Structure 1
Amino acid sequence: MRRIFAPILAAGLLFSAAAHAEDTLNPPHWQSQGTFGSYDKAAVQRGFLVYQSVCASCHAANALHYRDLEALGFSPDQAAGIAASVKLADGSPATLDDTFKAPSVGAAAFGGALPPDLSTIESARTHGLNYVYNLLTGYAAAPASVTLLPGRFYNTAYPGQQIAMPQPLKGNEVTYADGTAATLPQEASDVSAFLAWSADPNLNARHEIGLRAVLFLAFLSIIAIAAKRKIWRETA
Structure 2
Amino acid sequence: MIVRCAVTDVIQMSSSVYRVLLKPEVNIVFKAGQYLKVHFNSKSYAFSIASSPLDQDLIELHIRKNEGIGDSCIVGCFQQALNENILVDVPHGDAWLREDSDRPILLMAGGTGVSYVSGILKKCISSKMVQPIYLYWGVKNIELLYVHKELIDLVATHDNVYYVSAAEYMDDVHHLVKKGTVLDVILNDFNNLSQFDIYMCGPVPMIKAAKVLLGNYRNANLERMFSDALAYV
Fold in common (TM above 0.5): no
**How does the TM-score come out when normalised to structure 2?**
0.25
Name the structure where helix makes up a greater proportion of residues: 1
Name the structure where strand makes up a greater proportion of residues: 2
Q: Which has the higher contact order (CA 8 A, sep 6+)?
A: 1
**How does the TM-score come out when normalised to structure 1?**
0.25
